[in-house]
Structure 1
Amino acid sequence: MGSMEEPSPETNYTKPLGIRFIEYIKRSNISYKTHQVIVLIVTFIAYASYHAARKTTSVVKSTLDPASDEVSLNSLPWRRRPFSWILGDGWAPFDGSDGTVLLGEIDVAFLAVYAIGMYFSGHLGDRINLRIFLTIGMVGTGVFTSLFGIGYWGSIHSFYYYLAVQMLAGLFQSTGWPSVVAVVGNWFGKKKRGLIMGIWNAHTSVGNITGSLVASALLQYGWGWSFVVPGLMIATIGLVVFLFLPVTPESVGVSEEDESDSPKKSGAEVTSPLLISSRAEVKDQPVGFIEAWKIPGVAPFALCLFFSKLVAYTFLYWLPFYISHTAIDGQYLSDAAAGNLSTLFDVGGVLGGILAGHISDRLDARAITAASFMYCAIPALFFYRSYGSISLTANVILMFITGMFVNGPYALITTAVSADLGTHSSLRGNSRALATVTAIIDGTGSVGAAIGPLLTGYISAKSWSAVFTMLMGAALIAGLLLTRLVVAEVTAKIEESRSRRGSTSRSQPAVIDV
């Protein structure tokens, strides 16, 4: 009994080499729950590395163009460039009068290719091995992130070189989100998916902070290192993904039922081979792009995320700049203090994602939870704009609350909702729609993520109040887009309550009037 169970040749073939090595050392198979832990850890680190690589451009931007630290969407959290005595006065072609415009064009190009590439990545992700697909995406991201930095040592001053490299980096970056959500969705059922994915979604903030710290620390050695090191990091983690990530329980020959007395173990009734083969046949057929759009709930949630991510990314790109240019208690904060203060928005967002996931699990109502958070974001935005300048304490509290309500539904939709819809009952057990559905939802949201900061650049030149009005309007539209789903969920809850009361009354003994 103590010897290791020999897996079938087919199962053994699909197991990652790292899993096989662990099982060889243990002399026994890894349990289902251990596989779940491995999936959460590996995908967390993987997507954190995507965000760390993505963050490098914003950190180096003020070094490439000294003027960009005043007006850039992704300015460093300090106004004067660090180590300017080493780095000189900028880097052509970004050090001219139009340097900020060129850097802005690179940002828009990256986000545009990322959004478009997301649709193709989801389509491919449901048709090939996600472990290999994710590895290729991470190694490719590392290569093109590093190539941007190599321009430093190669004395490359062609704008089109950096534009092309950044666009290709955006294309490979688009492989990440559909893949990791699909893998996590394969391993975790709907019951606690919201809470688990809400906590797991903290990888975004961890990656942003890590990328900022690594890129900033390396600037003194030359801005090229700020790209090459994060590039090498994500490529290395890509190899870890290849070695250790189990894509599905079936691919490694385990099932949740194996943890308890299942029919197979107890000798109880076994499912007919005919049913098994027909079920496998359904699962082996990937869902098309148009078919995925037709899944109930995909279109409303995708459009909702468009406006939700518009609000969230506007804060991501503009919040440090807004804080440093707004008097708080009659004083202006330095860019360093403003950058540090803005991280509280992300902290609130992490809590919001966890709360939204937990509440939606308890209520079993994703649309109600997401819409409620979006509606609550409207007064939060209003109060932050109106009263955030009264004192530093008021600013901190209101910013934290705003981050919670803005990022809560964004995190919920991109994780638990995408996983739910990718395994919707209309698919009749087909599990090969997760990546496609995730890509459609987050890809549509990424278009909003590109448009929001771009519009803010024009509107903020006239009035910050107008910017917040735009954000409140976007939050309202995001909530309204889920109205039909909210009504359906409320109706279902009422019917469920009525049926429960009816069954309770029928179960009570009748009172006979004597």
Structure 2
Amino acid sequence: MTPNSDIPPSEINTWCDWAPFDGSDADTLLGTLDSAFLFAYALAMFASGFIAERINLRYFLSLGMLLSGVFCYLFGVARTYNIHDFTYLMFVQASAGIFQTTGWPGVVTVVGNWFGKSKRGLIYGLWNSHTSIGNILGSLIAGEYVETDWSLSFIIPAFIIGAFGFVIFLFLVVRPTDVGCLPPDNGNQRLTRPYRVLENRVANVETPSGDSSDTDDTEILIGEQEVQRRISERSYLLTRDRQQEPEKAIGFMGACRIPGVVEFSLCLFFSKLVSYTFLYWLPLYVKNSTAMGAMLSADFSTLFDVGGIVGAILAGVVSDYTGMSATTCVSMLFLASPMMFVYLKLGSYSFAVNMILLMIVGVLVNGPYALITTAVSAELGTHSSLGGNSKALATVTAIIDGTGSIGAAVGPLLAGYLKNYGWQSVFYMLMISDALALILLLRLVQQELTQWKHRRQVRRE
């Protein structure tokens, strides 16, 4: 199809000739599709966490991935079968958003089941890098086919997620006790205590001459075998008890009453607002503020996600070392606002400066967002106030991420409106959102600092 004469020459390479996106309202229609996906995702997330606590997560995750692939495929075949109905595209986008909510609460729960609390921040930080890697790969796959056959930008990812959904169905083990292993948080205690008791018993065995003496190497080996037998027996009993007396899943209001859930949820609303506004609008900003073309701007913007990988790991490591997750988030949020201002003023100075500043902003913006949606959610989902009940992790994760996803839907919409007043207005909105996210955690920071001072005082005594 020949481009309209109304299209500026500078936009010929990025102009769309596919109805209904070939008119002057193309940006509005595309923004509506984005909003349909994001709002459907945000609202469905709350229900997703509720369901995840009550069914087998292997089925839940694999079915969610397969259906996500189906609706991604259905969007792509709109080009193949010449489907131009905007209602159809809206329905497919919203459905994709709904089924993609199965991933986050389900997988956070599975990772929490297997790794427990030891080095939780680092483990979740490494795991969370998949979001940034996925963004990068998605951008590269879409960019590869966008000018030749854009349907493949959806069809290929659809087959990828569908294939891995089948792998999850075949091989995922939801919790260690399903295969006779001990839960990670109880492993050290259950290994150490039987061994000490057994060691004391065999250390006073009478020798054939009637004298009491220390046991020899053979008797120690027998003791270790007995320890392993007892471990296996306890693991079996633990699994049996869980099957006979299933834990009751926590409700929505019960999860909200866990200390810290409301604060971190509202903080994530603003943190995710900032992160997703960068995700959706950064390529256009780079294109408008530099001499880069549309495709190069899209590739260049992935540096923000590269910084996000580093930020997620860094936030997790600092949180593990200090034991103060709220303080870690506030520290990064405190630095993020001035760095966004610096990027706004100096980002167009040179290619190298833009690249460095963009990665730093990615570290500071995505670090708190990644920590809250993973390690913090897992920590609150296994809070001491639950009395050991592990059937709250998915619900808590869904509440926190669902609230954050509403912010992710609102941010790009606000940016689209404020862009008409200049990019400076968009960045000021992001800096204000960042400051609000920081303020919402100040009470928790005060509590963490008080506890830290108390621990130091106890150590000195």
TM-score range, shorter chain: 0.7 to 0.9
Match of 2:65 among 138, 143, 155: 138
1:346 aligns with 2:305: yes
What is the 5 A alignment of 1:369-384? 369-384=328-343
> Equivalent residue for 1:29?
none
Give the letter for the 2:125 counterpart: G
Match of 2:348 among 377, 389, 394: 389
> Equivalent residue for 1:447?
406
Match of 2:324 among 365, 377, 381: 365
Change in Cα spacing, 1:282 to 1:461, as seen in structure 2 (3 Å) is farther
Larger deviation: 340-349 or 209-218?
A: 209-218
By how many angstroms is 1:398 displaced? 1.7
Larger Rg: 2
> Equivalent residue for 2:201?
none
Larger deviation: 136-145 or 95-104?
A: 95-104
Match of 1:153 among 76, 80, 86: 80
What is the 5 A alignment of 1:259-274? 263=194, 265=228, 267=230
Q: How many Å separate the matches in 2 of 1:103 and 1:347?
A: 26
Give the letter for the 1:365 counterpart: M
What is the 5 A alignment of 1:212-361? 212-219=139-146, 222-255=149-182, 256=184, 257=187, 263=194, 265=228, 267=230, 284-327=247-290, 332-361=291-320
Q: How many Å separate the matches in 2 of 1:191 and 1:166?
A: 39
Q: How many Å separate the matches in 1 of 2:11 and 2:28?
A: 18
Deviations 1:330-365 (A, max 9, x none): xx2222332232222111111111110000000011
1:456 aligns with 2:383: no
Q: How many Å separate the matches in 2 of 1:272 and 1:467?
A: 55
SS at match of 1:286: coil
By how many angstroms is 1:96 displaced? 2.3
> Equivalent residue for 2:118?
191
By how many angstroms is 1:273 displaced? 11
> Equivalent residue for 1:119?
46
SS at match of 1:389: coil
Q: How many Å separate the matches in 2 of 1:467 and 1:491?
A: 37
SS at match of 1:429: coil
Q: How many Å separate the matches in 2 of 1:282 and 1:370?
A: 38
1:206 aligns with 2:133: yes
Q: How many Å separate the matches in 2 of 1:113 and 1:273?
A: 42
Match of 2:432 among 460, 473, 479: 473
Structure 2: gaps spanning 5 or more residues: 195-226
Change in Cα spacing, 1:222 to 1:393, as seen in structure 2 (3 Å) is closer
Match of 2:37 among 80, 91, 110: 110
> Equivalent residue for 1:100?
27
By how many angstroms is 1:220 displaced? 6.0
> Equivalent residue for 2:95?
168
Change in Cα spacing, 1:335 to 1:150, as seen in structure 2 (3 Å) is closer
Match of 2:391 among 432, 435, 459: 432
Aligned residue pair count: 422
By how many angstroms is 1:283 displaced? 5.5
Change in Cα spacing, 1:97 to 1:359, as seen in structure 2 (3 Å) is same
Change in Cα spacing, 1:326 to 1:282, as seen in structure 2 (3 Å) is farther
Q: How many Å separate the matches in 2 of 1:356 and 1:128?
A: 32
Q: How many Å separate the matches in 2 of 1:403 and 1:434?
A: 28
Q: How many Å separate the matches in 2 of 1:414 and 1:346?
A: 16
Deviations 1:200-225 (A, max 9, x none): 11111221222223333344663222
Change in Cα spacing, 1:144 to 1:496, as seen in structure 2 (3 Å) is same
Q: How many Å separate the matches in 2 of 1:94 and 1:337?
A: 23
Q: Residues 282 and 429 of structure 1 are in contact (CA less than 8 Å); yes or no, is this contact kept in structure 2?
A: no
Change in Cα spacing, 1:163 to 1:267, as seen in structure 2 (3 Å) is closer
Give the letter for the 1:227 counterpart: F
Q: Tell me which stretches of 4 or more aligned residues in structure 1 moved more than 6 Å.
A: 270-282
What is the 5 A alignment of 1:69-80? 80=12
By how many angstroms is 1:483 displaced? 0.9
By how many angstroms is 1:186 displaced? 0.8
By how many angstroms is 1:102 displaced? 1.5
Give the letter for the 2:265 counterpart: A
Q: How many Å separate the matches in 2 of 1:261 and 1:277?
A: 22
Q: Residues 319 and 325 of structure 2 are in contact (CA less than 8 Å); yes or no, is this contact kept in structure 1?
A: yes
Give the letter for the 1:384 counterpart: Y
Q: How many Å separate the matches in 1 of 2:298 and 2:239?
A: 56
By how many angstroms is 1:396 displaced? 1.9
Give the letter for the 2:281 counterpart: W
By how many angstroms is 1:439 displaced? 0.7
Change in Cα spacing, 1:410 to 1:182, as seen in structure 2 (3 Å) is same
Q: Residues 279 and 429 of structure 1 are in contact (CA less than 8 Å); yes or no, is this contact kept in structure 2?
A: no
Q: Residues 76 and 151 of structure 2 are in contact (CA less than 8 Å); yes or no, is this contact kept in structure 1?
A: yes
Give the letter for the 1:126 counterpart: E
RMSD of Structure 2 on Structure 1 (CA): 2.8
Q: How many Å separate the matches in 2 of 1:114 and 1:267?
A: 47
Q: Residues 422 and 438 of structure 1 are in contact (CA less than 8 Å); yes or no, is this contact kept in structure 2?
A: yes
SS at match of 1:95: coil
Match of 2:369 among 406, 410, 427: 410
Change in Cα spacing, 1:229 to 1:398, as seen in structure 2 (3 Å) is closer
Give the letter for the 1:95 counterpart: D
TM-score by length of structure 1 reads 0.77
Q: How many Å separate the matches in 2 of 1:135 and 1:359?
A: 33
* Aligned-residue identity in percent: 51
By how many angstroms is 1:191 displaced? 2.3
Larger deviation: 209-218 or 341-350?
A: 209-218
Q: How many Å separate the matches in 2 of 1:241 and 1:274?
A: 28
Change in Cα spacing, 1:66 to 1:316, as seen in structure 2 (3 Å) is farther
> Equivalent residue for 2:206?
none
TM-score by length of structure 2 reads 0.85
Q: Residues 282 and 430 of structure 1 are in contact (CA less than 8 Å); yes or no, is this contact kept in structure 2?
A: no
By how many angstroms is 1:464 displaced? 1.8
